A = this chain, B = another copy of it.
Amino acid sequence: MLSKKTKYGLKALAFMARKEDTSPVQIATIASSENISQKFLESILLTLRKNGVLGSKKGKGGGYYLLKAPKDINMSEVMRILEGPIAMVPCVSLNFYERCDDCPDENACSVHSLMIELRDSSLSILNNKTLADLI
């Protein structure tokens, strides 16, 4: 299940991408336009800034802005920042790998290959989607 955090984050990014100019947008503006709790959105946008997706500017006329053109903001990158691993189990995650406690032998696990297939099919979509595709 996609978390609200990710959903709101994607909506906020799309909101910024839809603007013609690249001037900063205030949290309050996005929050009210997209029906998102402002405080919650604050922490989401902060995460995106700390991970190099957004830039910010304080004070009057300040806000958040995209650091790259929408077509250069990749969906798998954004999903990993907001949602975490693309894979459904950590033992097949490319970027967040972890062993499973219950599996003595990963390659003997009956779930393993199915999870790899699912991961790859999701990745093939997300790797080829950008923020520009959302608008």
Contacts and interface: CB of A to CB of B under 8 A. Distances in A.
Interface of A: 1-2, 7-8, 10-11, 14, 34-36, 75, 84-85, 88-89, 101-104, 109-111, 113-115, 117-118, 121-122, 124-126, 129, 133-135
Contact of A10 (B11, B111, B129): B111
Contacts of A129: 114, 117
Contact of A1 (B34, B89, B113): B89
8 contacts: A2-B115, A14-B110, A110-B135, A113-B134, A114-B125, A114-B133, A117-B129, A118-B126
A36 B102 contact: yes
How many monomers of this protein are in the complex? 2
B89 A110 contact: no
Contact of A121 (B109, B121, B133): B121
Nearest to A7: B111
Contacts of A114: 10, 75, 125, 129, 133-134
Nearest to A88: B2
A102 B2 contact: no
A35 B125 contact: no
